[in-house]
Structure 1
Amino acid sequence: MLEIVTSTPGVFEVGTVLNIKDAKDAVKGGAKFLMSPTMVKGIMDDIEDEFLYIPGVMTPTEILTAYEAGAEIVKVYPVSALGGIKYISALKKPFPHISMVASQGITIDSIGDYIRQGASSVVLSDAIFNKEFMDQRNFDGIFRLSKLAASQAMEALEWKQQSSLTESCHR
């Protein structure tokens, strides 16, 4: 998803979509991908082909159910309450073929660990849009946090690519 956001100017996502009406409104408003804290069946069934829909999942059963319903990627939520990095690592063992977004309670400093343990991307809304900066309307601070987060993510993705290359050379 970092690639979608950084390589496509003007792309935006709508999160916490809880019903099909909100999903349709978001798409009409120009959203290119939507996220939910749960799997909203109507979105998967009715309008998922028009955009990327990332349903929220918590358990292995929910992951497989969303994948079998057509989800290309799932949002593991609330990941920090479920064990954080260790939980993502454990989930990737039976589901290496399913892309996962780690969401909730993630810090900028932990981006690399999540990516190295198998997350395809992370949600950083609380880490970037921290309450103090928002209250102060400190948009420069938010911008700096965004740049730091993007840098951390790029480093982790580069490490992941190098690891994959090294691994394939040793086979």
Structure 2
Amino acid sequence: MKKSDVLEQIRKIGLVPVLRAESESQALALAGAIADGGVTCMEVTMTVPGALKVMARLAKERPEILLGAGTVLDAETAKECVGEGATFIVSPAFDEKTVSYCRAHEIAVLPGALTPTEVIRAWDAGADVVKIFPASAMGGAKYLKSLKAPLPNIEMIPTGGVSLATAHEFLDAGAYALGVGADLVDTKAIRGGHPETVTAHARKYMEIVKGFQAGCLI
């Protein structure tokens, strides 16, 4: 898939669940439950045990999922993730070599930043979208709106503090898409044998996103 197509799919789906789990099997169960709820985009973080194996299995078994790799801290790791099927690379911070590698190989890259200076630096280096993390620590949607006011041309995905209660606020503030963590990626529900809880939550998120997108088209 071309980089432009990957980025368009991220925007269209509107959600990027941050997949953290305690085991490979739990990660796969979470991914399946989330995708069954209509959220067919997610990043498997490198903090998941056997993360590369999880990516490889998802790429093979759930081809409908737009698969990304998260918590990627260097270019070598980015290369390994792409080799296992990741179509976009996400990081909690900005690493110039990682962005350079992705640019050279036409891979969508979403480095993390927080302050205006960090955001501009990441964008100028070639970020396709800048991950604003942790957004909650700076005031959530209000902070994103403050960043977008002087930097309307920079695409941003807020992560941290995104929930069903705040999703619409972040979208209204100008989010390219939403990075969603524990509010959707519910390991407790999976441990308890209730993947349907995660699936139902995913559907609620998609209802918010699609409702917002429909309103923007009116």
Greater Cα shift, 64-73 or 47-56: 47-56
Greater Cα shift, 132-141 or 96-105: 132-141
Task: Tell me how far 1:113 sits from its aligned partner.
Answer: 1.0
Asked if the contact 1:111–1:156 (Cα under 8 Å) also holds between the matched residues in 2, the reply is no
- Please list, as runs of the form range in 1=range in 2, the aligned pairs for 1:6-85 lying within 5 A after superposition: 6=40, 9-48=64-103, 49-85=105-141
CA distance in 2, matches of 1:64, 1:16: 20
Structure 1 ranges of 4+ moved more than 3 A: 4-8
Give the alignment's Cα RMSD to 1 decimal.
1.8
Corresponding residue pairs, total: 162
CA distance in 2, matches of 1:56, 1:110: 20
CA distance in 2, matches of 1:137, 1:23: 33
Task: Tell me how far 1:47 sits from its aligned partner.
Answer: 3.0
Q: Bigger relative contact order, structure 1 or 2, given CA contacts below 8 A and separation 6+?
A: 2
Question: Tell me, what secondary structure is at the counterpart of 2:92?
Answer: coil
Structure 2 match to 1:169: none
Task: Tell me how far 1:140 sits from its aligned partner.
Answer: 0.9
Question: Any unmatched runs of 5+ in structure 1?
Answer: 163-171
Question: Tell me, what secondary structure is at the counterpart of 1:159?
Answer: helix
CA distance in 2, matches of 1:132, 1:9: 25
Task: Tell me how far 1:10 sits from its aligned partner.
Answer: 3.2
Greater Cα shift, 141-150 or 39-48: 39-48
Asked if the contact 2:102–2:108 (Cα under 8 Å) also holds between the matched residues in 1, the reply is no
Question: Any unmatched runs of 5+ in structure 2?
Answer: 1-9, 14-38, 42-62
CA distance in 1, matches of 2:123, 2:153: 10
Report the TM-score, using the length of structure 2 for normalisation.
0.69
Asked if the contact 2:109–2:127 (Cα under 8 Å) also holds between the matched residues in 1, the reply is yes
CA distance in 2, matches of 1:52, 1:83: 27
Asked if the contact 1:112–1:155 (Cα under 8 Å) also holds between the matched residues in 2, the reply is no
CA distance in 1, matches of 2:65, 2:178: 20
Structure 2 match to 1:107: 163
Task: State the identity as a percent.
Answer: 27
Asked if the contact 2:102–2:109 (Cα under 8 Å) also holds between the matched residues in 1, the reply is no
Say which structure is richer in helix. Answer: 1
Asked if the contact 1:80–1:104 (Cα under 8 Å) also holds between the matched residues in 2, the reply is yes
Asked if the contact 1:105–1:126 (Cα under 8 Å) also holds between the matched residues in 2, the reply is no
CA distance in 1, matches of 2:74, 2:207: 34
Task: Tell me how far 1:9 sits from its aligned partner.
Answer: 2.1
Task: Tell me how far 1:129 sits from its aligned partner.
Answer: 1.5
CA distance in 2, matches of 1:118, 1:2: 12
Structure 2 match to 1:127: 183
Report the TM-score, using the length of structure 1 for normalisation.
0.87
Question: Tell me, what secondary structure is at the counterpart of 1:37?
Answer: coil
**1:19-59 deviation line (CA, Å, top 9, x unaligned):** 22221111001111111000121111123333111000100
